[in-house]
Amino acid sequence: MFLYGFTTNRNGSKKVKSTVVEFAAGDNNFLTHSMVDKMLIQNDEFVKNQPKRLVDLHFLETNVSANPYVEKIAVFLTIDGVLKTTIKQRTPIARIVDKYKSFYVDKYGVKIPLSTNFSARVPLVLGVREPEEIKELTTLIKTINSSSFFAKEIIAIERDAQSEYTFTVRSGDYKIIFGELIDASIKFKKLTAFYNKAFTDKTINNYKAINVKYHNQVVCTKQNQDGEQ
């Protein structure tokens, strides 16, 4: 018992000799290792060289998790005195542009500030402001991202006052008039069938609007003969 207590006390008196920050594989680059190190502050001091027994892991986790780019975090000490911090950063699914501000949101609808370190390639979204609108948007984005084609094809989303959506696409100058978020999976099936035919026929650039808001219909508006809309 004495030997155990002596060993524990001696281990606790050892100082934190280094810090290691690990990001989840494939994570975004909002945060850097040096940025995280600056959050590992306890008693107004960097934790390195502080005695292990004085390090409050819960406090450090709480401090780092308050950062808006952090989704999950774990902080722990190794026997040899290394403080390890593992972080999963938030993954943006859309960038909302409002009249006075712009920010990302993740799949949970959590707002993520823009970063000078990293720019996410996600759809630009207009007309979404309120929490319930953001929640609906995350549902729409989830459906879009379930298709590798539409995840790349749809580059902007606009929601109007009637809660109807219009998409801007990558492959041409036409718009997709999606309507309300009702029967979304059916609408995307109609769009898929239309795209398959239009790409095969090479007629996709003949259109200025593809409307799937009506039940069981795809209504297309063509460009003028001279190419003007």
2-89 carries CATH number 3.40.50.300: no
CA nearest neighbour of 216 among 187, 182, 195: 187
Domain residues of the chain, as ranges? 2-89, 92-222
Structure tokens of 89?
A: 């950063």
Task: Give yes or no for a contact between 127 and 140, defined as CB atoms under 8 angstroms apart.
Answer: no
Mean pLDDT of the chain: 90
- Model confidence at 227: pLDDT above 50: no
Tens digit of each residue's pLDDT (9 = 90 or more) over 27-41: 778 999 999 999 999
**What percent of the chain has pLDDT above 70?**
92
* Segment 137-150 mean pLDDT: 97
| CATH superfamily of domain region 92-222 | Cell division protein FtsQ/DivIB (3.40.50.11690)
Task: Give yes or no for a contact between 160 and 194, defined as CB atoms under 8 angstroms apart.
Answer: no
Q: Strand ranges (DSSP E) for 68-180?
A: 70-77, 82-89, 92-97, 102-106, 111-113, 124-126, 154-159, 165-169, 175-179
**What percent of the chain has pLDDT above 90?**
73
Q: In what order do the strands lie in the sheet with 70-77?
A: 18-23, 82-89, 70-77
Structure tokens of 92?
A: 């943006």
Higher pLDDT, 10 or 206: 206
Confidence (pLDDT) at 216: 79
* Segment 136-142 mean pLDDT: 97
